[in-house]
Chains A and B, each alone.
Chain A
């Protein structure tokens, strides 16, 4: 990298700082707003400095909920979101690594057509197939359940494709050495392929967890009970109130809380991810 000298370097830094400010400002506002009194915000007199209601707002948000339309404590919403996101991330990884293993390492009739069918589903987003999916989930009596929230989102072409590409880079000799060492297909998968896939799984977990956590449309459709509501749906419901003031501090506190698990996952997994990247050698 070329070291820029003097003035040009300062300009670059200033531009970067402006960029950071633009990205970080809304987050800052959310945090500040979550510590203010609702009346002040409603009057449009919100201060840009943190207010003094931090503990009471967060206590109410986590354990009580809004006094208006949805009286669900956010702790419960977060639990729902967490279960859904974990089920989706873990389920997707489990399903796709197994199907990729099948496609790469076994010769069976219609192997390539099956692969292409999986591949084509990449081009169909959830929204397109949402009516048939809803119908199936409803017919299986899975509305308002964790299974209904997670299952339809688990089958994943992207992850299958990623694992397939990774498996194809694993040298054939490893499989052959395993065969000579007396390891059958399941042993090879468990003893060799899974440990080698650790980095890929970590990376995918980060992406899929955030994807699952941020689901909005699907949970909105299939949950009707307040106690099955996810946090993303909950925020939206808190904002729309029919005959009362929107309780902005609580909405903002919920938004801040909604950000925390993805941040935590990224920070926690990044270490494993990077370490794995350095360690793994094919």
Chain B
């Protein structure tokens, strides 16, 4: 049981490339922290620094009240689950889980009871004598988890553990990981590029971009109040619609708030209506494409004006395109002109560079 605290952590590679540019995160005891961001944002590097697989070139990493910067991975009391599982191919499932315990000189009886307990929890009991190659992807994933559990570490580290699984298995393993973490109550840090995984798993969500933390907080709070346009478009699928407030049609509706620069509206906050809610924003659209997924429908519409393109990677929409999410499968035909509106409370305003949120 331990807190993990990162204090102004930096990583500069010998070539001068700065992968992590000063990160401060505090993960409380037993909390599930998810690092999310696009590839190359440094989230895996940061996790590997916590594990001790990468050196720390600045700042402090503190696990359970002890600065571990100079401590070997094996002595940090952490366990890690790798993306490709990294099971020892020549060892049986039992030995894979027992290896780390035996290396610590644990008595064989204790090793046996711990491995069997983990196997019971993960429903691997019948497979203890098999080799990893005789297992399916999901089973290998569970063995990798088992190898972490038997150690009874202070901290679990997960490096995109589900990205090698198929979509269905990913969802069930996701729930399993969450349940397991709740039951064992072990502080966990989890890296993923999948924002859905991030939203569903996290107690604390850390959104990273370009080696820096964009926003830290409760996932729903981040969803509701993204601090930058990067977070706004990264969290949530389909991404938030971002548009320049310089376009006349929006400027006139926003009044003095029109100085903000960038206006964001989530697809589900639009309704198709002829009314204009007071203080809200209404946009005329031409329906370009329809995506029906059953319970809901996505309408891709283009705006009448030549709306200005706004830089807000990733998940950026083509200039002037708006996504509207409506419940059910009823949708206007392609080519029809519609009018969508969002109420004032659902508007997100950002400064022109997208780096700060402006409360209206």
Contacts and interface: CB of A to CB of B under 8 A. Distances in A.
A173 interface: yes
A281 B89 CA distance: 6
Chain A interface size band reads 10 to 19
A193 B119 CA distance: 26
Contact of B103 (A171, A174, A182, A196): A182
A150 B22 CA distance: 58
Nearest to B80: A180
Interface residues of B, number: 25
A187 interface: yes
Q: When A and B form their complex, which 10 residue pairs have the shortest distance between CB atoms, in order from nearest?
A: A181-B100, A173-B86, A182-B74, A182-B103, A195-B90, A177-B86, A281-B133, A173-B82, A179-B73, A180-B73
A180 to B, nearest CB: 5
Interface in A173-201: 173-174, 176-177, 179-183, 187, 191-192, 195-196
A171 B84 contact: yes
B74 A196 contact: no
B13 interface: no
Interface of B: 51-53, 72-75, 78-80, 82-84, 86-90, 99-100, 103-104, 132-133, 147
A159 to B, nearest CB: 21
Given A174-B86, A192-B88, A280-B90, A183 B79 contact: no
A282 interface: yes
Nearest to B99: A181
B162 to A, nearest CB: 16
Contacts of B132: 281
Nearest to B48: A176
Contact of B51 (A171, A180, A182, A282): A180
18 contacts: A173-B82, A176-B51, A176-B80, A177-B86, A177-B87, A179-B74, A180-B74, A181-B100, A182-B74, A182-B103, A182-B104, A183-B74, A183-B99, A196-B90, A280-B90, A281-B89, A281-B132, A281-B133
A173 B132 CA distance: 15
Given A176-B53, A179-B74, A187 B86 contact: no
Nearest to A170: B89
